[in-house]
Amino acid sequence: MTDLEGNPEKHQGCDAGQPKRSEGNPEKHQGCDAGLSIDLSAAKSELATQAHALGFTKLGVTGVEIPVDEQHLLRWLEAGFHGEMDYMQRHGTRRSRPAELVPGTVRVISVRMDYWPGEARPADEVLDQPTLGYVSRYALGRDYHKIMRRALARLAEGLAARIGPFGYRVCVDSAPVLEKALAREAGLGWIGKHTNLLARDAGSWFFLGEILTDLPLPLDAAATAHCGTCQACIPACPTAAIIAPYRLDARRCISYLTIEHRGAIPVELRPALGNRIYGCDDCQLVCPWNKFARAAAHPDFKVRHGLDATRLTDLFGWTREQFDTRLRGSAIYRIGFERWSRNIAVALGNAPTSEETLRALEARRLDPSELVREHVAWALERHGSRKAGAATS
């Protein structure tokens, strides 16, 4: 595959990415080889078949125009709901205009892959045991970015081998793309009131990926919404981050605070984190559509290192080297040991007061990281206040 500007996910098609189309038949596409005509409907069918063989549960195709979603994005950014995710502001409308991101793009191929870890300790059981650490279900196995990217690259390369070169770029959280809006337009599901994508046959426990392409493949019908009057997800949010249907203030979201946020977690929000040390699934756990969720078929999404139900004190006792060894290859690895420790310190502050918890915190009172030290001090003070309150009651 041709490597353009150092990006192995780009493949140059006809005339610097601009597609050649045969005259008079929108279902045909003129290939790079002179006189080669491509049956686009057949090509799309082949893609769907191969996608299923690669582990994707659904594939759809949409165009590149999502003006309503672009306006929603701009209002969201203007309100400052993106917090410290400055890259979202920098990307601007490129996020909602795939053809500006990759010139020549006329279609977006969107795919789903299930990740629900059916064999994991039930989420509600872990959340109800404050001495355990809760890790978002998507991060219990190996890093989905690499798994999805490889599969999407194989999907595109397989089609190129059959029909000849065409322009494409593979995206799995690796480019500024409004993936949920595009997936909705491709018929993969609708955006729920919690802002996650939902599908009637799969709930919301799936990953999304895209191929931006210059192939004018036949379009799929956009998905319709089926939340109805249900708003279960809104009061379920521990930090009230879902401020209205379809409107999320990321600055209050536990997933943002434990993953994207680099500094100190706001003191007023720390108690609401409970034992959630990486991400949060509460809005999905209460969604009635998730009764249709399917367990992940890909073996790399199975639970690793007991992360579905590990004691907080054990996790806080890890060294940096143990973190590197155990979490390399996991989505968690990218937040680094410091933020991982910060998150666990907050959870230990929320845990029941016990000698085990206090020993774990005292052991890192003088941690080399100022960030970790501050959160340990908060946790110890919280336990001290509880003990003082119990003594006077």
- Residues 119-160 have pLDDT tens digits of 999 999 999 999 999 999 999 999 999 999 999 999 999 999
Q: Is the pLDDT of residue 309 over 90?
A: yes
Tell me which of 260 and 27 has the higher pLDDT. Answer: 260
pLDDT at position 37 is 78
Q: Are 239 and 296 in contact (CB under 8 A)?
A: no
Measured CA to CA, the distance from residue 344 to residue 278 in angstroms comes to 9
pTM for this predicted structure: 0.89
| Residue 371 CA to its chain's centroid (Å) | 26
Measured CA to CA, the distance from residue 43 to residue 40 in angstroms comes to 5
pLDDT at position 392 is 65
- Find, among 199, 88, 109, 92, the residue nearest to 153 by Cα: 109
318-330: b or e for each residue (b if 16 or more CB lie within 10 Å)?
beeeebeebbeeb
pLDDT at position 145 is 94
- Find, among 329, 331, 333, the residue nearest to 318 by Cα: 333
SS3 label, residue 50: helix
Q: What is the average pLDDT across 85-101? A: 88
Active-site residue, 173 included: yes
Measured CA to CA, the distance from residue 145 to residue 299 in angstroms comes to 15
Q: Is the pLDDT of residue 372 over 80?
A: yes
Domain spans, the chain: 10-29+38-381
How many residues belong to the chain? 393
pLDDT at position 393 is 59
pLDDT at position 391 is 65
Tens digit of each residue's pLDDT (9 = 90 or more) over 2-29 = 333 333 333 333 333 333 333 333 344 4
Measured CA to CA, the distance from residue 193 to residue 317 in angstroms comes to 38
Tell me which of 195 and 35 has the higher pLDDT. Answer: 195
User: Other C-beta atoms within 10 Å of 304: how many?
Assistant: 17
Burial class, 161, CB count within 10 angstroms (exposed 0-12 / middle 13-18 / buried 19+): exposed
Measured CA to CA, the distance from residue 186 to residue 98 in angstroms comes to 14
Q: Which of 173, 300, 314, 367 is catalytic?
A: 173
Q: What is the average pLDDT across 226-233? A: 98
Q: What is the average pLDDT across 164-187? A: 94
pLDDT at position 36 is 55
Tens digit of each residue's pLDDT (9 = 90 or more) over 25-57 = 334 444 444 445 789 999 999 999 999 999 999
Q: Is the pLDDT of residue 104 over 70?
A: yes
